[in-house]
Amino acid sequence: MAWSLTTAPIVISQLQAGEQGLLIAAVDANSKAVAVLGSVPAAAGGIQEAAGDLAAVLPQGLHAVGSYLSNSSSSSAWKPAAANTPAVAAANTSSSATWSIAGQQVTAAEAAAAAAAAGVDDAGLNIAAGFIPLRCHLDVQLSVQYAATPSTASSSGTAAANGNAGSSPPPAAAIQAAVQQLQQELLTSQVVFVTEPGVAAAAEGQQQASPLLIHSSSKGTVQDALNINSSSSSSSSSSNPCVSLLPLQSSSSSSRDKPTAPMFEFEPCQQQQQNSSVTLSLDVLAYAPSSMQLSEVPAALLLPGLRGQLATMQALLQQQSAQGQQLTPLRACHFLPPGLGFPVTVCYPLLHQSLESTELKLLPRRQQLHTLLGLPSNVPMLRFANALEWSSGGGSSIAAGVPRSLRLRNVHEGLPAPGIGGQLYLVDGAYEYYHYMQDKFNDAGWGCAYRSLQTIVSWFRLQKYTAKPVPGHRQIQEVLVALKDKEASFIGSSNWIGAIELSYILDEYLGVTSKVLTVNRGSEIPANARALAQHFASQGTPIMIGGGVLAYTLLGVAFNEDIGEAAFLILDPHYTGGEDLKKIWQGTWVGWKQLGDSAAAGGPLFVKDAFYNFLCPQRPSTV
């Protein structure tokens, strides 16, 4: 049987001339089908090392199937980067080329690419044609028992009941023994997996699907049993990007008598023993070939995935112990960075109660992963807040519990471009529209700069640079007082603030630096359009316009160098109505404006003889 190859469109665009790296694909060995989802770059001589590192973060069923080395003369020609590394042909490879797929030499004709068929569902999880994503998650409590050190034993007697507090960290051997015991109790061949409510497709005419048990005796193929069309770009549930499963321990795997009522067991620890317990949030993704027998899924995908994740977490716990740290909870998170083409799974420790502190501590690990995956070095893509969220079940993002704001987002999208021609330079990323009278707080007449600041902070939140909440007026005032920029009487007042105060707050609250562009006269603002356009091209953050008479938020610049004309995309915080996009557009509370145009609230937008400060927040160079 010849191998069939499906290549996602993103793969062809990713492979640039003069580069080399690895191709990531879902592989169905039985049907000899390969679905290439994406690629990652790899340095010269580092193909094998990169493949090993990738194996730790790829979902079950995804593999680094081959390497590529682009031809410097043509970005459409590819060849193996190393003789011992299999390569997969791109869709437009010449028919005379030979390739190795899964260790077997094939011709390009045998590996001819099918139509581009990588779909993306509502939740953003790539689904390869012929494969069905499965997700298995559970939280387990790992209990580690180990001998007490002389100091802790003498001070506390038997410390078994004291948890982690005041005890020395357990040794590596004790952690390994606890993980092995957990695997023996939970991840046996007798374990049964059950679909969560609503994720198995309902039979025709039913409102709700019945849970489906998946075990070694299950009948039918994955596609037939789950009643999912694997060639579709969406899963059986619009709220879940894949079939979600929970493991159940089969009662037949236990030699003890089956309990007839809820029960607990008490077993005293030996003297001079300590106990350390920690929560492990396991969460495994697997790409199951739709033709795979359902009975093969546990042994082929789910159990290896859970065991591998436990091994990863064991190594992290042993690392904590070696550094003299108490054991901290671990969580597996799934990410789908834009442009990558396939998801990755990373296990993170929850080091602090403060999410900000944890993210800061994990920066070196994220930098390593960004380098491995070829991700940008200044855009957060692997923070807790970036993790894929799920509609139900455990293992969701730690930041998913924050309620979504009811404020409008990206209110400029859909506006027609200004009539001056030229090039548009726009804010890069999502933001929320903050304006007067929101949250039943009357700040009309004095809070415009506060609202502009809130819009800017929302941009940093939505780009995942911070998990801190958008500050309210009083908190903003408290920061300025703490910095000794204002007197204590400023708190609770209705006093204005300007661009300089906003720069202090962004620096203190978010650690964000800013540049200030000062324009001495409003009539000179168009002459600074090129500098403002450069800010949006390089930084992409919203700009606060202060000075003059009123404060605004600048979302973009249109600049026509040929005729010297400029227009400015103004987001006006003086709006006092409800979250009605049609009303906002009709009132030009967001819109393209030029010098001489009126503000939405009346009067000139830019007063010709007034000075203006343009506060330009700088994008942090961090992940």
- Max intra-chain CA distance, the chain: 89
How remote is the C-alpha of 488 from its chain's centroid? 40
What would the two tokens of residue 222 be?
């994955």
Question: In the block, which residue shows the tokens 């780009």?
Answer: 463
CA separation for the pair 392, 245 (Å, rounded): 11
CB distance 137 to 196 below 8 Å: no
Q: State yes or no: is 28 an active-site residue.
A: no
Q: Which of 485, 524, 496, 513 is nearest to 610 (CA)?
A: 524
CA separation for the pair 516, 541 (Å, rounded): 13
Q: Which of 338, 321, 345, 404 is nearest to 375 (CA)?
A: 338
What would the two tokens of residue 49 be?
């090392």
CB distance 70 to 64 below 8 Å: no
What beta strand segments (E) does 73-227 contain? 74-79, 98-101, 104-107, 118-120, 126-128, 131-147, 192-195, 213-214
CA separation for the pair 541, 460 (Å, rounded): 8
Catalytic residue among 347, 473, 574, 616: 574
CA separation for the pair 368, 384 (Å, rounded): 16
Backbone angles phi, psi at 385, to 5 degrees: -70, -20
Q: To 5 degrees, how large is the angle CA 119–CA 122–CA 123?
A: 100
Q: State yes or no: is 122 an active-site residue.
A: no
State the pairing for strand pair 104-107/98-101.
antiparallel
Instruction: Give the helix/strand (H/E) hosting 597.
Output: none
- Name 134's bridge partners: 243, 286
CA separation for the pair 615, 528 (Å, rounded): 13
Q: To 5 degrees, how large is the angle CA 26–CA 29–CA 30?
A: 130
Catalytic residue among 53, 334, 572, 616: 572
CB distance 24 to 373 below 8 Å: no
CA separation for the pair 214, 28 (Å, rounded): 20
**DSSP letters of 533-558?**
HHHHHHT---EEEEESSS-EEEEEEE
Q: Which of 130, 128, 295, 136 is nearest to 225 (CA)?
A: 295
Question: In the block, which residue shows the tokens 């009303």?
Answer: 583
How remote is the C-alpha of 546 from its chain's centroid? 34
Q: State yes or no: is 215 an active-site residue.
A: no
CB distance 77 to 93 below 8 Å: yes
Catalytic residue among 448, 473, 535, 616: 448
Among all residues, which ones are annotated catalytic?
Answer: 448, 572, 574
